Amino acid sequence: MSRIGKMPIVILEKVDVTIVDNNIKVKGPLWELSFDFSSKVKVSKEENSIIVTPVDDSASALWGTTRSIINNLVIWVTEGYKKSLEIIWVGYKFEVSGDKLILSIGFSHKVNVAIPAGLKVAMDEKAKNIIHISGVDKQLVWEFASKIRAKKKPEPYKGKWIKYVWEHIKRKAGKTGSK
């Protein structure tokens, strides 16, 4: 029995859910998303909740996964998803210009990164070295954040890096640290 699959999904007031055959459409204030689920699970809507049940014993692997994906759709269309990046080093900075993110990260030139459609990139009001990437698709937000982070991976000896705000990177002493 799937512990996650047994839990009902609560539908919020602002969300409309439509189930047709093996497709579920979730429409909220931010976005409209759809998901094609397997015929081995049954998805039904009851008042303020969505219930996912397996059709047969072979569907146990899909039961919890389908429930989690549908629950994420309900969350994403109401709240969206957000990822924050921080840049650390003297002279390193982020700039948002229209649909481009401009990175000054120690190269002889500035690095331009195109912001994908459906994502918003905003500078933090308090700290100039933090940007917030938000959107309704978790995969797209994570992928874009990792693409930016890959431009200047953490370097533990000097402390130059682009990192996630929650991430902790352990500094290393270097050659003179062993004496």
- pLDDT digit string (tens) for 21-74? 999 999 999 888 899 999 999 999 998 999 999 998 888 888 889 999 999 889
Q: Under DSSP, is residue 77 helix (H, G, I), strand (E, B) or coil?
A: helix
Is the distance from CB of 129 to CB of 165 less than 8 angstroms? no
Q: Under DSSP, is residue 130 helix (H, G, I), strand (E, B) or coil?
A: strand
- pLDDT digit string (tens) for 93-115? 888 998 999 998 888 999 999 99
What's the Cα-to-Cα distance from 100 to each of 38, 81, 95, 129, 148, rounded to whole Å?
A: 38, 20, 8, 17, 12
Domains and CATH numbers, the chain: 3-78 (3.90.930.12), 81-172 (3.90.930.12)
Q: Give pTM, 2 decimals.
A: 0.72
